[in-house]
């Protein structure tokens, strides 16, 4: 049996999208595709077009040209059907502060036509998901910024959308609240939700997202799986290893491998590696070796009894990639 068209199409499709505000070209022929089940990080400086794109996809703003589809539904021709598939959480959103948390969610669930009996179950499940069950009877005005953000996310989920559009969801949050939000987004992906998320907190996007798109002047300048984007900017791989005992054997072994360069190891404190319970030493290096070549490098280290206890690829810094790309397009 052949796959249906929806099964083989990206869940978010944007083609040649354009939007102008007076003399400012916010979107300039933007093309974007987000695969079903992915967490797609939408990265760009202020004014690059991230929020405009999300508002157009959410059917809150009309594009000057181009097309967009959410789960196969054309956002211009069938906006109501497209909205049924998505939840949109803007950077700043209003809350009815004289309602309790449960009343707030009940109001939005009722707006979607969800029956009262089902609303009670849905609200309980969503409050558990965003860890606000203990606040269900508290007034919204008494919530912290992080709690309000999590409540806003729960509001986006009352109708069980396929797609989430999150515009700077961690804005203004403290580190713990950002971590909690990131874990909720990961859980939603595990449950099958596709997420398009914009953020300036680039290291967190690298850790959370499966794919990344860097937008500048209303156009994508680089996109793809996170690791692929990082490799494309800096060919080769950075490998991090950890060794127990003096690192000299590992260092000498690596220096004899032609494909290895840029070996970095911290200075060895005198006598520390001979002491019981001493911490392992981390060594990093660059290599153009493929997977088979990496296996040979690891085999050489093991054969030399270098004391390797960790050997893994290290992702380069997404923030550096972002700065390089935006500097190039500004020049």
For 56-111, what is each residue's pLDDT tens digit? 999 999 999 999 999 999 999 999 999 999 999 998 777 777 899 999 999 999 99
pLDDT digits (tens, 9 = 90+) for 21-33: 999 999 999 999 9
The mean-pLDDT minimum among 9-13, 25-29, 220-224, 278-282 falls in 278-282
CB 132 within 8 A of CB 153: no
The mean-pLDDT minimum among 50-54, 76-80, 219-223 falls in 219-223
What radius of gyration, in Å, describes the C-alpha atoms of the chain? 24
CATH of domain 5-232: 3.40.50.300
Domain with CATH 3.40.50.300 in the chain: 5-232
Going across the sheet that includes 86-89, the strands are 86-89, 163-167, 194-198, 39-43, 211-216, 219-225
Residue range 247-253: mean pLDDT, rounded: 93
Whole-number pLDDT of residue 5: 43
For the chain, give the mean pLDDT: 86
Looking at the domain covering 236-315, what would its CATH class be?
alpha beta
Domain with CATH 3.30.70.260 in the chain: 236-315
Q: Residue 320: pLDDT band by 50, 70, 90 thresholds?
A: low
pLDDT digits (tens, 9 = 90+) for 254-300: 999 998 998 998 775 555 444 445 688 999 998 988 889 999 999 99
């Amino acid at each position: 049996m052949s796959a249906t068209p929806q099964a083989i199409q990206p869940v978010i499709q944007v083609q040649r999208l354009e939007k102008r505000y007076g003399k400012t070209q916010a979107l300039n022929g933007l093309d974007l595709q987000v695969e079903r089940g992915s967490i797609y990080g939408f990265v760009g400086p202020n004014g690059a077009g991230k929020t405009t794109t999300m508002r157009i996809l959410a059917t809150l703003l009309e594009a000057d040209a181009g097309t967009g589809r959410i789960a196969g539904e054309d956002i211009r021709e069938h906006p109501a059907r497209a909205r049924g598939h998505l939840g949109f959480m803007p950077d700043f959103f209003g809350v009815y502060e004289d309602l309790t948390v449960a009343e707030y969610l009940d109001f939005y669930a009722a707006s979607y036509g969800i029956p009262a009996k089902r609303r009670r179950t849905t609200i309980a499940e969503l409050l558990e998901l965003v860890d606000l069950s203990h606040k269900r009877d508290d007034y919204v005005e008494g919530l912290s910024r992080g709690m309000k953000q999590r409540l806003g996310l729960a509001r986006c989920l009352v109708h069980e959308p396929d797609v989430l559009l999150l515009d700077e969801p961690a804005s203004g949050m403290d580190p713990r609240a950002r971590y909690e939000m990131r874990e909720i987004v990961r859980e939603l992906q595990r449950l099958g939700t596709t997420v398009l998320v914009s953020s300036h907190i680039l290291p967190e996007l690298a850790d959370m997202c499966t794919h990344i798109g860097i937008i500048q002047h209303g156009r994508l300048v680089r996109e793809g799986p996170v690791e692929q984007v990082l490799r494309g900017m800096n060919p080769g791989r950075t490998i991090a290893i950890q060794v127990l005992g003096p690192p000299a054997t590992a260092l000498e072994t690596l220096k004899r491998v032609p494909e290895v360069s840029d070996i970095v190891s911290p200075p060895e404190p005198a006598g520390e590696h001979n002491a019981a319970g001493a911490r392992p030493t981390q060594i990093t290096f660059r290599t153009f070796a493929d997977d088979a070549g990496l296996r040979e490098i690891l085999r050489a280290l093991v054969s030399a009894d270098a004391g390797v206890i960790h050997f893994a690829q290290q992702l380069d810094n997404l923030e550096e990639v972002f700065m390089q790309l935006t500097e190039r397009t500004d020049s």
